[in-house]
Amino acid sequence: MSHSTSSSIAGKTGAGGLALAALGVVYGDIGTSPLYALKETFGSPHHPVPITPDNVLGILSVVFWALMLVVTGKYVSFIMRADNRGEGGIMALMALALRDERDGPQRRIVLMLGLAGAALFYGDGVVTPAISVLSAVEGLAIITPAFEQLVIPLALVVLTGLFLIQRHGTASVGKLFGPVMLLWFATLTVLGLTNIVAAPGVVRALNPAWGIAFFINNPLLGFFTLGAVVLVLTGGEALYADMGHFGRRPIQLAWYSVVLPALLINYFGQGALLLSNPAAVENPFYRMAPGWALIPLLLLSTMATVIASQAVISGAFSLTQQAIQLGYTPRLRILHTSEREMGQIYLPAINWLLLGSVIALVLGFKSSSNLAAAYGIAVTGTMLITNLLAFVVIRQQWRWNRWRALACVVPFALVDVAFFAANSLKIADGGWFPLVFGLFVLGVLTTWKRGRELLSEKLGGSAISLNEFIASLALGGATRVPGTAVFLTSRPEGVPRTMLHSLKHYKVLHERMVIVTIQFFDVPYVPEIDRVEVHPLDENFWQITVQYGFRDEPDLPHALELCAHFGLEFDMMATSFFLGRDTLLVQRGKEMAYWRVLLFATMYRNANSFANFFKIPSNRVVELGSQVAL
């Protein structure tokens, strides 16, 4: 997306055009749930629901009210109001919740909740491509059982191709996403309607009494069933996470006018089919279609699941970029695949990590039914954490009183707790995977943050006051040479270590000395007019503060060009950037466990260089090394 807010884009494109684009990016995940949700509910190998008229109507009623309460009520109508200057998603919500929090137990709890939600999102990002593409390709076995052995190889080919094209960006193929998903939702509607016409009695399931009766008559089975019904909600978090790209109104417009009606009609159509043909439970989605339509439907389903996977992969890239700039992960190589759209980024390290994990999942679980157990725990965990963070935002930012906030959040939280509890029973069957993957990611996020804090304490302990240093120069002693030297530091009040090392080695100071501090704020974007603050000091020293939001694209040379407005002009060919490159000496200490110190040192050593990340020309960089015991 461009640097401006989504509302300005909406002004150019129109809400209708943005709603069409949102179909491809936002609704791919939840839009492909009909491929497997009811199949898992009625045909689960663990707790299948017997196909009787009462049970079918009961499950359809639960599906309808789950979509209305969780997606329509919670996300579309409520959570999307908790935006961080137009941006949504778990990291943006965490930053918003932390905005007025002082350091203390509550701040640490909010921080851990946000990081845990982000970690679970990565787990979801691995499971979504695997289960979506597998469930689509499994339609081969419906065409003829002889094709069943081709399901896993073909799924691996499709998934590998999907990750291989990431480095080319999605700008070109992305134009097709909206129209393809519009065709997909139209197909869902037609398939559903043709089956509802054959058994119109299923519309009675709109009455919540059927769902309530199902739970009263089957309390234990009903609880187990929630673990499968939650599959109709997968992708609900994407509505909120992608709000910054499209804005609230286009996402709501697409939901009410296209997505919700298509999903409900298709689910009710599958229910109608099961009433007339219980044997269709092996794959009710594909069994809704006539024989001649199976191959076109298989191709369309595969395209839809690739689009759904693309949205999650792009989300993982975007979340990682936010985490880097908020200081929770090492600097990674970020490639911008579009000259016009900022949102089009590619992170090779994350791409290959996701691909390796997805391939391992497909080979390990072998079917979408087996993967369904792994899916729910990540989705429900993230949904529950979103509720808790939203409560903090309502209290701190919206200034609602406690009882009003509780009355708003508790109903949604109770629904999420019920879904999470039902899915927690499936941990042994596959739910362990997103939890283990999430714990790994959480360990990386917290270790990097704590390691940076410790390193900063070590390096800042012996800092010399900048004002005193400049005052001493007035007495003479240091030779000044032509040109500009730029020194980067996180402590603007002290003399940068690189400046002291330079003075020690070269015995000179440049004619113009510029000290730059880069700050990242918990807002998506910092306006260009606020990008730099410039303060002249004595002895031709200058202090510059460069400010970015967590969605901004850092470009230090461009930021320095903006200093011309303040009387400080840069000639890049006469400017040298002095950067520090620290070598960490790992030792056992009390501040952090030894394994975490080793992990931090490994990440620190392999992080993308400061010069690359901030687009500093490599031929203008001077690196000065030092050793730090951690």
Can you give the pLDDT at residue 8?
35
Pair type for strands 479-488 and 508-521: parallel
Here the tokens at position 213 are 């009766």
Q: Residue 531 — very low, low, confident or very high, per pLDDT cuts 50/70/90? A: very high
Distances (CA, A) of 58 to 199, 200, 280, 281, 342: 16, 15, 18, 16, 46
More confident site: 578 or 87: 578
Residue 477 has pLDDT above 90, yes or no: no
Rounded-to-integer distance, Cα 76 and Cα 256, Å: 9
Can you give the pLDDT at residue 56?
94
Out of 134-148, 206-220, 298-312, 589-603, the most confident range is 206-220
Can you give the pLDDT at residue 21?
78
Close Cβ partners of 75 (under 8 Å, ≥ 6 residues apart)? 236, 237, 239, 240
Rg (CA), the chain: 27
State which amino acid sits at residue 326: L
Residue 460 has pLDDT above 70, yes or no: no
State the CATH architecture for 17-448.
Up-down Bundle (1.20)
Can you give the pLDDT at residue 548?
92
User: Do residues 307 and 299 make contact, with C-beta atoms less than 8 angstroms apart?
Assistant: no
| pLDDT tens-digit readout, 388-399 | 999 988 988 888
Mean pLDDT, rounded, for 417-421: 93
Can you give the pLDDT at residue 476?
72
Can you give the pLDDT at residue 213?
96
Q: Residue 7 — very low, low, confident or very high, per pLDDT cuts 50/70/90? A: very low
Residue 443 burial class via C-beta count within 10 angstroms: exposed 0-12, middle 13-18, buried 19 and up: middle
Close Cβ partners of 230 (under 8 Å, ≥ 6 residues apart)? 66, 376, 379, 380, 419, 422, 423
CB atoms within 10 A of CB 490: 13
Q: Residue 327 — very low, low, confident or very high, per pLDDT cuts 50/70/90? A: confident
Residue 1 has pLDDT above 60, yes or no: no
Residue 40 has pLDDT above 50, yes or no: yes
User: Do residues 48 and 394 make contact, with C-beta atoms less than 8 angstroms apart?
Assistant: no
Residue 11 has pLDDT above 50, yes or no: no
Distances (CA, A) of 422 to 272, 387, 419, 452, 536: 26, 18, 5, 39, 62
User: Which range has the worst mean pLDDT, 138-147, 166-175, 445-454, 573-582?
Assistant: 166-175
Mean pLDDT, rounded, for 199-221: 94
Report the run of H or E that residue 603 belongs to, with start and end. Answer: helix 594-606
| pLDDT tens-digit readout, 95-105 | 888 877 666 78
Q: Residue 331 — very low, low, confident or very high, per pLDDT cuts 50/70/90? A: confident
User: Which range has the worst mean pLDDT, 365-369, 462-466, 618-622?
Assistant: 462-466
Can you give the pLDDT at residue 461?
57
Rounded-to-integer distance, Cα 323 and Cα 195, Å: 46
E strands, 327-468, in order: 335-336, 345-346
Q: Mapping DSSP to helix (H, G, I), strand (E, B) and coil, where does residue 487 land?
A: strand
Residue that the structure tokens 């909206």 belong to:
178
Angle formed by the axes of helices 294-325 and 171-198, to 10°?
A: 130
pTM, entire model? 0.83
Can you give the pLDDT at residue 197?
94
User: Do residues 118 and 446 make contact, with C-beta atoms less than 8 angstroms apart?
Assistant: no
Q: What is the dihedral angle through the alpha carbons of 138, 139, 142, 145, rounded to the nearest 10 degrees?
A: -40
Rounded-to-integer distance, Cα 292 and Cα 1, Å: 41
State which amino acid sits at residue 526: V
Here the tokens at position 583 are 């070598």
Can you give the pLDDT at residue 239?
79
Residue 180 has pLDDT above 70, yes or no: yes
Report the run of H or E that residue 481 belongs to, with start and end. Answer: strand 479-488
Q: Residue 308 — very low, low, confident or very high, per pLDDT cuts 50/70/90? A: confident
Q: Residue 2 — very low, low, confident or very high, per pLDDT cuts 50/70/90? A: very low
Can you give the pLDDT at residue 287?
92
Close Cβ partners of 9 (under 8 Å, ≥ 6 residues apart)? 1, 2, 18, 247
Question: What backbone torsions phi and psi does residue 87 show, to the nearest 5 degrees?
Answer: -95, 145
Residue 384 has pLDDT above 70, yes or no: yes
Query: How many residues make up the chain in this entry?
Result: 630
| pLDDT tens-digit readout, 583-612 | 777 777 777 888 888 898 899 888 888 888
Mean pLDDT, rounded, for 47-56: 90
In the chain, residues under CATH classification 1.20.1740.10 are: 17-448
Q: Residue 403 — very low, low, confident or very high, per pLDDT cuts 50/70/90? A: very high
Looking at every residue in the chain, the average pLDDT score rounds to: 86
Mean pLDDT, rounded, for 273-295: 91
Residue 182 has pLDDT above 60, yes or no: yes
Angle formed by the axes of helices 105-137 and 432-460, to 10°?
A: 140
Rounded-to-integer distance, Cα 587 and Cα 457, Å: 16
Can you give the pLDDT at residue 10?
39
Residue 229 has pLDDT above 60, yes or no: yes
**Helices and strands in the chain, H and E counts:** 27, 8
Q: Mapping DSSP to helix (H, G, I), strand (E, B) and coil, where does residue 169 land?
A: coil
More confident site: 44 or 204: 204
Can you give the pLDDT at residue 444?
92
Q: Facing residues of 622 across strands?
A: 578
Here the tokens at position 194 are 């043709």
Mean pLDDT, rounded, for 186-212: 95
Mean pLDDT, rounded, for 93-115: 83
Rounded-to-integer distance, Cα 388 and Cα 140, Å: 42
